């Protein structure tokens, strides 16, 4: 087996500047264009290839006019040799695609950051049930590291394959994290009422996602069962050290970007100082902001940024804790977190290229 | 004491057509213009007077251009004699206003429908704590009927004073109603994660309500304590026959109209057929629509309409019940419900003037 | 040839109540659901049939949840006999459909109101150039009456076939009407800068119409040539009595409903009292509201209503006149205007079923 | 008189890194927070002071939560000594404020970039007519350089006082620039139909700017006369070398950011290659993007970016030219352009700190 590329990267650190050669598979969706936007501002990255079967030959900037003048690349048909020449390849594809290409890339020494759901769930049967198809690469699932730096930073450093968390899972897991680590709440009574901007549904031609169908309106969806439920329950179980039961209700917001999760749990011990607990747990995290008591995180306060903002409440002094979490689903919930993983994997400061404040107003 | 006006109305039913003389106090806010819009389509109503200290002399249609060509009325300064000449007076005022005028109107035989919070809470001390001022009319509070027709229809018929439910309370109470009436859920573990359009904040010049501050964003608010909490807990306690504890988190939607409440409760008995329970409970209700299993109520499906749409779920077959409720906060959550009360009070078919389908798209 | 149905309607006027039997072809788009919403409030209409190839068998209320509880009809496959049993059939279809069905319906005595573009343009060659296909029914084009009541009321009364104006054309034509009738402006220098809500693009699954693509943004489109240009130039030419040249730039608004047209023309005579001109011309029009001097029509002031609001300006006292026009593209721009035509055709008061004020806020 | 600070800056270029000491007067509005967002990413700037009478003592990040973790500064009361210690001071204030403070700052060697309207109009009488107050500093108006780099780059380099163009003027002037420079159009027949996001109205508590008043709607405003009209006519006259007449109609978009101007002019010579004209004129401009023929600039394609995108059309081959211009009103229309001016003034590469692609979607 060829040594993974990060050895050569370590070697190149003696030079003045690391340059990570990056490839992207599936760059025509919203996580793809967001990867591009963020990577263009990353000082240590060289974008080498971006693939799309449907748009091969089209200039990226023709599809995404915000990139005009910033990027000369064209979409190309997937070409394993071109990808294998990269140090790291991001998959910004629907589920089912990464499965078929990851093994060869790993075998050729490329590190992979998969933004899709292909490697997030360890139990293959559960994956196959929720995604409704056979898993094409079960042998690699065990190797994949769940790319939530706040719990897996050390494993990420040396990982060859990162399964980047889903957008909802990132916010729900970060929000419950301090409570579950300390065993402070009833694990069978976790509730997440979350809401996402429409970019979470991707850039697909569906009547349900037309402005005329979802603007000036609000609804829940996936109440009977959403694919992020098993992912979140697995991660929360890992954190808690035992199984959890979550009731998860996602909602569709008539906005482009942003996830807001409102979490409810029953405290086993109401004497804990929740504000201090959260502040201490995340004190050294570059992308988790525990806000002052009484604060109300707004999704716009993280628009375009990798920051996740959290507030914690105990309304009326009762035994319910309420945690509010805001993130940008395309950044901390997808592409930004992917780059955060990349920075860790390649020994860069974790926030390289991710320092811009959110766009407000 | 003068006999309340409804006797004369009964008398007039021998005539070909009832015409209810209506006055509105405080018509410059959103519940005021919504009352006007709906009453203009009501075949049995004659709008007599609409008051506003700030806009006295202004034509109503100059403030609300949708009414141009439909209404010739001008705002007038509050004048007790003009109001006393009406059969019914609506208060579409901030809390604290109705208190000072209701006693005289009642004494002069006028029936009152108060859309504000002044008479909703029976415990004066609780009202004064949450609204931060002394109650100006505590002696009338006991007489007031809480105007939720689905639980108080008979009392509404003969009421002189209606305390119209708040917008959030209407949706939360209707959503929990069948469960609490039957004692099916843990009363200490009720959760409501609700979201409202910005019209719920009224037509007030505040930076927080600017389009630039709340559009393309989402946030919770009032988590530490919202004034609708004691109202909802009182009503749910009345329904259940014993005290309840609710965790209530409202959110602000970047839309104009609509409330969506996502309710969570823990079932004491998971064998109950929830769909049948809801369908039977609301079978004869003109303004509660229990949707088919798996349906997802959208706020746009009730935009401008007095309908409240409900779906009920038991995700993963666990012991949590999830109820989804959509209403228009300005209609079923305020002015439409006020008119529904008026129809009941004056012996009209309950849906008179409230039959229009929602505006979709 | 069977006598057209309006004779029988005249006959039935001796009865207490006219009931017009209505059919709709193509009811799954936004003009279709808007027709349904408006016709449900029309006291003289009986909805008999609504067709859709794609949704045959589906309850209309399943597709359009605002209609739940208001309408029991199901979509059916197009059936000429069922349609022929109606007094009037609306086509709410893409262009090209009405052409193939209109001749037989007319032959069987049914009157037709076509909301599509099939019969709007008299010059077949021009129609074929702009719509990119052969016209399937050129012989009926000459008979069709252009359904803008403000200029064609008398012809509409006895018409068998109405070509309902497009949404942009309605606003541009009404806005220029008084100026062109009086010959007050340079006919070779007309400009319309118009903007439409996204419902104008229909209920079609296209990436370009996703909320994520058009919300929080604004752009022009169709600058090089929009299909409404030849229609508008034809109508303006008819009004002026000679050919006109219009520069027409439509824009896409990130809202659901509403068209706003800003019109520019060069006055040949600056002494004319423009306000008086407009007020007099439209004084007896039920659905054109000339607003007071200095007013600014908002699209929300006509949301859901058949009203068209107009203001006229002469900025800086120069020789340019600026006319502002607001309408709801789905109502006065399509379905409402269709019903206005129907009312005229069947001898009803013109505003029957079209009296509701706009939904504001 | 003290030598202006740029001499010292030139001197400091021998050092490894220029650091420009920056002050901001009036940092609580949207141009203020946008300046902060952009300056935080500027490698050569040290933010020293940000003043606000109303918010003195408040942490900037408490008012603008997107800046949490990025900026420790607090608002301070205006203090001339603190400001005089800066190399450059930006005024992000309403008109009328800069007038009173600029003379002393200039006298103390500070360079000033005024984002307000105070120094834009050379004719004091015209300024006083449109802004409805006496001008407080007429003697400095002649010195002020109009900060549109595309026409005034050389003068900006050595300017002590920059009058940064208004948001609408930037887009209208750049759009007409190539046509007027070459004398290709009728100067008495210029039309601009422009539309701005609501952030253009500032962060002020007014009912007119509530989400509930302007969302899901569209309207023109300022038709009878907008303060940007005399500014634009002055600049266009400068470019053309003779007076021009512009009809200017601004509109309010229900979005946060973005200006789109649709410009109309009558060609004197229709043989000119408009596409080539525009491409050549702006070939070396870092922040003007002439798009390919047929392109339609979207405001979202410049959201958060200093880029201005332009397309040019000659519809139907007639004699009207249509120019489409998209910019972010807070960036190229205000704060970004201010920084572009600063870069020129201090000898930095013009795009320093302004290189980020727009946020899309």
Is the CB of B215 less than 8 angstroms away from the CB of D254? Answer: yes
pLDDT, residue B7, reads 33
Q: What is the pLDDT of residues B96-122, one digit of tens each?
A: 999 999 999 999 999 999 999 999 999
Is the CB of C68 less than 8 angstroms away from the CB of B301? Answer: yes
Chains that touch C (3 or more CB pairs under 8 A): A, B, D
Strand, coil or helix: A347: coil
Q: Is the same domain home to C209 and C183?
A: yes
pLDDT, residue D37, reads 97
Q: Is the pLDDT of residue C268 over 50?
A: yes
Higher pLDDT, B2 or B352: B352
Q: Is the same domain home to A190 and A147?
A: no
pLDDT, residue D180, reads 98
Is the CB of D69 less than 8 angstroms away from the CB of A256? Answer: no
Q: Which of B86, B137, B164, B167 is catalytic?
A: B167
Structure tokens at A243: 């199984």
C355 lies in some domain? no
C29 lies in some domain? yes
Percent of chain B with pLDDT over 90: 95
- Residues 6 or more apart in contact with residue D311 via CB below 8 angstroms: C223, D290, D291, D293, D294, D295, D296, D297, D323, D324
Give yes or no for a contact between C74 and C59, defined as CB atoms under 8 angstroms apart: yes
A249: nearest CB among B215, B262, B300: B262
Q: What residue in A sits closest to B213 (Cα-Cα)?
A: A361
B239 lies in some domain? yes
Q: Is the same domain home to C70 and C181?
A: no
Chains that touch B (3 or more CB pairs under 8 A): A, C, D
pLDDT, residue B92, reads 97
Question: pLDDT class for C18, splitting at 50, 70, 90?
Answer: confident
Percent of chain B with pLDDT over 70: 95
Interval C37-50 mean pLDDT: 96
Q: Is the same domain home to A96 and A193?
A: no
- Alpha-carbon B89 to chain mean position: 15
Is the CB of C296 less than 8 angstroms away from the CB of D212? Answer: no
**To the nearest whole angstrom, how far is the Cα of D81 from the nearest Cα of chain A?**
30
**Residues of D annotated as part of the active site:** 167
A69: nearest CB among D41, D203, D307: D307
pLDDT, residue A184, reads 98
**To the nearest whole angstrom, how far is the Cα of C59 from the nearest Cα of chain B?**
13
Mean pLDDT of chain C: 94
Please report residues of B whose CB lies closer than 8 A to that of D206: 205
**To the nearest whole angstrom, how far is the Cα of D108 from the nearest Cα of chain A?**
33
Q: Is the same domain home to B126 and B223?
A: no
B350 lies in some domain? no
Q: How crowded is residue B125: how many other Cβ atoms within 10 Å of its Cβ?
A: 10
Give yes or no for a contact between A61 and A82, defined as CB atoms under 8 angstroms apart: no
**To the nearest whole angstrom, how far is the Cα of D121 from the nearest Cα of chain A?**
29
pLDDT, residue D18, reads 74
Please report residues of B whose CB lies closer than 8 A to that of D215: 198, 211, 215, 254-256
Q: Is the same domain home to D43 and D140?
A: yes
Q: Is the same domain home to B175 and B152?
A: no
Q: What residue in B sits closest to D207 (Cα-Cα)?
A: B205
- Residues 6 or more apart in contact with residue D42 via CB below 8 angstroms: D339, D352, D353
pLDDT, residue A87, reads 98
CA–CA dist D68, D197 (Å, integer) = 25
Q: What is the CATH number of the domain that holds D185?
A: 3.30.360.10
Q: Is the pLDDT of residue B15 over 80?
A: no
Give yes or no for a contact between C278 and C184, defined as CB atoms under 8 angstroms apart: no
Q: Is the pLDDT of residue C58 over 60?
A: yes
B42 lies in some domain? yes
D353 lies in some domain? no
Q: What is the pLDDT of residues A124-160, one digit of tens each?
A: 999 999 999 999 999 999 999 999 999 999 999 999 9
Compute the half-sphere exposure of residue B104: CA atoms within 13 Å on the CB side of its CA. 11
Chains that touch A (3 or more CB pairs under 8 A): B, C, D
Q: How many domains does chain A have?
A: 2
Q: Is the same domain home to C93 and C209?
A: no
pLDDT, residue A12, reads 38
- CA separation (Å) from B298 to A252, B356, D316? 10, 17, 44
- Alpha-carbon C183 to chain mean position: 25
Q: What letter does residue A281 receive in the DSSP assignment?
A: H
CA–CA dist A38, A352 (Å, integer) = 10
Q: Is the same domain home to A137 and A195?
A: no
- Alpha-carbon A53 to chain mean position: 24
Q: Is the same domain home to C21 and C161?
A: yes
Q: Is the pLDDT of residue C14 over 80?
A: no
Q: Is the pLDDT of residue B256 over 80?
A: yes
CA–CA dist A20, A87 (Å, integer) = 6
Interval A29-43 mean pLDDT: 97
CA–CA dist A146, A164 (Å, integer) = 6
CA–CA dist A177, A165 (Å, integer) = 14
Q: Is the same domain home to A53 and A146?
A: yes
Domain assignment of residue B90, given as a range: 6-164+334-345
Q: What is the CATH number of the domain that holds C64?
A: 3.40.50.720
CA–CA dist D263, D180 (Å, integer) = 13
B167 is catalytic: yes
D223: nearest CB among C195, C315, C318: C315
CA–CA dist D261, D326 (Å, integer) = 7
Give yes or no for a contact between C128 and C116, defined as CB atoms under 8 angstroms apart: no
Q: Is the pLDDT of residue B4 over 50?
A: no
**Residues of C annotated as part of the active site:** 167
Q: Which residues of chain D have pLDDT under 70?
A: 1-17
pLDDT, residue B224, reads 95
Looking at this predicted complex, what is its ipTM?
Answer: 0.94
pTM score of the predicted model: 0.95
pLDDT, residue B17, reads 64
Q: Is the same domain home to A159 and A287?
A: no
Is the CB of D210 less than 8 angstroms away from the CB of B203? Answer: yes
Report chain A's C-alpha Rg in angstroms: 20
Is the CB of B195 less than 8 angstroms away from the CB of A217? Answer: no
B357 lies in some domain? no
Q: What is the pLDDT of residues A242-292, one digit of tens each?
A: 999 999 999 999 999 999 999 999 999 999 999 999 999 999 999 999 999
Q: What is the pLDDT of residues B23-36, one digit of tens each?
A: 999 989 999 999 99
- Alpha-carbon D267 to chain mean position: 28
CA–CA dist D121, D166 (Å, integer) = 11
A238 lies in some domain? yes
Please report residues of D whose CB lies closer than 8 A to that of C218: 195, 253, 255, 258, 260, 298-299, 326
Residue with token string 């809801």: B278
Q: Which of A86, A137, A164, A167 is catalytic?
A: A167
Is the CB of B361 less than 8 angstroms away from the CB of C256? Answer: yes
Is the CB of D211 less than 8 angstroms away from the CB of B206? Answer: no
Omega before residue B361 within 30° of 0, cis: yes
CA–CA dist A146, A153 (Å, integer) = 10
Is the CB of B256 less than 8 angstroms away from the CB of A318? Answer: no
């Amino acid at each position: 087996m060829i040594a993974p590329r990060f050895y050569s990267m370590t070697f190149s650190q003696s030079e003045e500047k690391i340059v990570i050669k990056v490839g992207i598979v599936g760059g025509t969706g919203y996580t793809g264009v967001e990867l591009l936007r963020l990577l263009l501002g990353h000082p240590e990255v060289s974008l080498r290839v971006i693939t799309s079967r449907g748009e091969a030959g089209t200039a990226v900037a023709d599809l995404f006019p915000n990139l005009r003048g910033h990027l000369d690349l064209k979409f190309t048909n997937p070409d394993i040799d071109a990808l294998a020449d990269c140090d790291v390849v991001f998959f910004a594809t629907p589920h089912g695609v990464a499965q078929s290409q990851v093994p060869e890339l790993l075998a050729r020494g490329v590190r992979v950051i998969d933004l899709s759901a292909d490697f997030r769930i360890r139990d293959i049967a559960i994956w196959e049930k929720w995604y409704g198809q056979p898993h094409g690469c079960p042998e690699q699932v065990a190797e994949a590291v769940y790319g939530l730096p706040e719990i897996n930073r050390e494993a990420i450093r040396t990982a060859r394959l990162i399964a980047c968390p889903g957008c909802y899972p990132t916010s729900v897991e970060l929000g419950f994290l301090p409570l579950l680590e300390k065993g402070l709440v009833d694990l069978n009574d976790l509730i997440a009422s979350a809401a996402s901007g429409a970019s979470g549904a991707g850039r697909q031609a569906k009547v349900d996602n037309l402005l005329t169908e979802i603007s000036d309106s609000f609804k829940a969806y996936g109440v009977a069962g959403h694919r992020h439920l098993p992912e979140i329950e697995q991660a929360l179980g890992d954190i808690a050290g035992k199984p959890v039961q979550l009731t998860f209700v996602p909602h569709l917001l008539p906005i482009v970007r942003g996830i807001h999760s409102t979490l409810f749990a029953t405290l086993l011990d109401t004497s804990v100082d929740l504000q201090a607990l959260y502040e201490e747990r995340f004190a050294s995290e570059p992308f988790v902001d525990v806000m002052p008591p009484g604060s109300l995180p707004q999704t716009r306060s993280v628009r375009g940024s990798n920051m996740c903002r959290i507030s914690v409440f105990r309304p009326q002094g009762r035994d319910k804790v309420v945690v509010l979490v805001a993130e940008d689903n395309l950044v901390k919930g997808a592409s930004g977190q992917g780059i955060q993983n990349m920075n860790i994997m390649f020994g860069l400061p974790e926030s390289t290229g991710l320092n811009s404040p959110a766009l407000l107003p």
